[in-house]
Amino acid sequence: MPTPVISTTQMREWEAATWATGQTEAEVIRRAGKRVARRARKLTRADDTILFLVGKGHNGDDARAAAKQLEGRRAKVLEMFLPDSDLLPLESALNEKPALIVDGLFGIGLNRPLSEAWQKIIAAINASKIPVLAIDVPSGLNAGTGETFGAAIEATVTLAIGAPKTGLLAASAWPFVGRLEVADDVGLIPCPLASELNWTQPEDFEHFPPTRHVAGNKGDFGHVAVVAGSFGYHGAAVLAVRGAQRAQPGLTTLLTQEEIYHPVAAQLQSAMVQLWKPELKLSDFATGALIGPGLATPAVRAAMKDSTRYLWRLAAFPLVVDASGLDLLAAEPFQKNFVRVLTPHPGEAARLLKSTAANVQADRVAALREISLRYGDCWVVLKGHQTLVGRSTGNIFVNSSGNPHLAQGGSGDLLAGFIAGLLAQPALAADVETALRYAVWQHGAAGDKLSLTRGNWTVEDLAAELGNAR
């Protein structure tokens, strides 16, 4: 069941429905504290000191409960009820250089500007540069709008309790929220609410992809065609193919330009490499295709425009368009039973909308909806922080994995190839929504795993890791 992104009012409704079943606030606080303690341990090492900042509300209760359930670490609890006199004790605690701060000062109930004294406290926490784990919402941030109440703690990780709150996903909130995670097993009843925005959890893919039949052969798992690469951009073609291969289709064929055929073919062993020709009929062999990575030179783009638009309108197989291929499209319809996917980053989305990247980032949901509508109700993967997956109507899913180290040239080529490799497989193309969500989550999870083990990984490392997360 999807995890909805909810408002603060909906959160109160959910809590009230839970209390009506006989579940107690004390038990939910205990469980939330356990989850906070578990996450705090993962952010620290044995015998580290963790500073718990405890306010008056339930966030403070959660922090206090977490401190009591901490194992293998030293807990220092600082109650902060009187901001005019709490700054000195806080500065003293910060001077002891704890490994982590757990922020339990304010929760989603905060509804007024912070006093000057509270703003000084928050400024001291941020100035310390000590990593912060915020409970539910960084203190000082409006969980409904994503704006601050004058100041807000800059968290490293925010652990939302139950479900993410709408304001945490606003671009204005990103510098304060840090990495957003969700503790959805804290004793609340299953969420009775629905939302157009839904948070992706790893558990969503417990049975995806489905187990392959024991007697399956490569003919059962599709043939993906990748149309990519031009002079000076041969690497994009190689990475797109490697991404497609990580999805394990039965066959992979790269169709590329003559001037880069040899350097590309020399880097690919199990993929077939052919020259792209306008008269080539992909439908004769392909069960899915990707067009776009590295089609960057003016001559290649001019040569590819008509064929790209033809395939967009008429190809019966799933078609993914990425990178330079996006600029070749016209806002044309296609048959409603066809699968079409666009994978723009914010700059490319802005070009599709004849807008600006700033406008796209200001309302990413609206940008996704409008792109999908203009291009025939296609699927859209709007890349970036908290990548979105959806169409002009229906659910939109927010990706939970990934980190800023994915912002490297070639990362998007890998993702586009991985998506196409999945959708070329008939069994997976039957559930496009899950396949797209899975691809995006795996891509981010691969980056997360690499960042845990090394500090300077490359896109080539990402290509080797892609698809391994469980």
Q: pLDDT-based confidence at 278, cuts 50/70/90?
A: confident
pLDDT at 1 over 80: no
114 occurs within a structural domain? yes
What pLDDT was estimated at residue 224? Answer: 98
The residue out of 159, 178, 194 marking a domain boundary is 194
250 in the same domain as 186: no
Sign (positive or negative) of CA dihedral 214, 418, 254, 282? positive
What pLDDT was estimated at residue 279? Answer: 87
Q: pLDDT-based confidence at 470, cuts 50/70/90?
A: confident
What pLDDT was estimated at residue 56? Answer: 93
| Residue percentage of the chain with pLDDT more than 90 | 97
* pTM assigned to the model: 0.96
Question: How many domains does the chain divide into?
Answer: 2
What pLDDT was estimated at residue 417? Answer: 98
Q: What is the largest CA-CA distance in the chain?
A: 78
162 in the same domain as 27: yes
49 in the same domain as 164: yes
Q: What is the pLDDT of residues 280-334, one digit of tens each?
A: 899 999 999 999 999 999 999 999 999 999 999 999 999 999 999 999 999 999 9
Tokens of 270: 């199990």
> What average pLDDT does range 383-392 have in this prediction?
98
454 in the same domain as 421: yes
Cα–Cα distance for residue pair 135/181, rounded to 1 Å: 10
Nearest CA to 151 out of 179, 127, 182 is that of 127
Mean pLDDT of the chain: 96
Backbone angles phi, psi at 53, to 5 degrees: -95, 115
201 occurs within a structural domain? no
Q: What is the DSSP letter of 141?
A: B
60 occurs within a structural domain? yes
242 in the same domain as 163: no
10 Å Cβ neighbour count for 125?
Answer: 26
Asked whether the bond before 298 is cis by omega within 30 degrees of 0, the reply is no
pLDDT at 181 over 90: yes
169 in the same domain as 120: yes
Residue 308, C-beta contacts closer than 8 angstroms, at least 6 positions apart: 291, 321, 325, 328, 329
237 occurs within a structural domain? yes
What pLDDT was estimated at residue 456? Answer: 92
Q: What is the pLDDT of residues 41-54, one digit of tens each?
A: 999 999 999 999 99
222 in the same domain as 188: no
304 occurs within a structural domain? yes
| Residue percentage of the chain with pLDDT more than 70 | 100
Residue 428: CATH number of its domain:
3.40.1190.20
187 occurs within a structural domain? yes
> What average pLDDT does range 397-422 have in this prediction?
97
What pLDDT was estimated at residue 402? Answer: 97
237 in the same domain as 154: no
For residue 71, the enclosing domain spans 3-194
Q: What is the pLDDT of residues 199-222, one digit of tens each?
A: 999 999 999 999 999 999 999 999
User: 139-149 b/e with 16+ CB inside 10 Å = b?
Assistant: bbbbbbebebb
The residue out of 194, 210, 240 marking a domain boundary is 194
What pLDDT was estimated at residue 455? Answer: 83
43 occurs within a structural domain? yes
186 in the same domain as 265: no
Q: What is the pLDDT of residues 415-425, one digit of tens each?
A: 999 999 999 99
261 in the same domain as 148: no
Whether residue 40 contacts residue 66, with contact meaning beta carbons closer than 8 Å, is answered with: yes
Whether residue 181 contacts residue 400, with contact meaning beta carbons closer than 8 Å, is answered with: yes
Whether residue 464 contacts residue 450, with contact meaning beta carbons closer than 8 Å, is answered with: no
Q: What is the DSSP letter of 378?
A: -
What pLDDT was estimated at residue 221? Answer: 97
225 in the same domain as 188: no
- Do β-strands 223-227 and 251-256 pair in parallel, antiparallel, or remain unpaired? parallel
Whether residue 344 contacts residue 352, with contact meaning beta carbons closer than 8 Å, is answered with: yes
What pLDDT was estimated at residue 75? Answer: 97
User: 330-354 b/e with 16+ CB inside 10 Å = b?
Assistant: eeeebeeebbbbbbbbbebbbebbe
User: 205-235 b/e with 16+ CB inside 10 Å = b?
Assistant: beeebeeeeeeeeeeebbbbbbbbbbeebbb
What pLDDT was estimated at residue 47? Answer: 94
Residue 82: CATH number of its domain:
3.40.50.10260
Nearest CA to 102 out of 19, 167, 40 is that of 40
84 occurs within a structural domain? yes
255 in the same domain as 161: no
Q: pLDDT-based confidence at 352, cuts 50/70/90?
A: very high
Cα–Cα distance for residue pair 66/70, rounded to 1 Å: 6
The residue out of 194, 228, 256 marking a domain boundary is 194
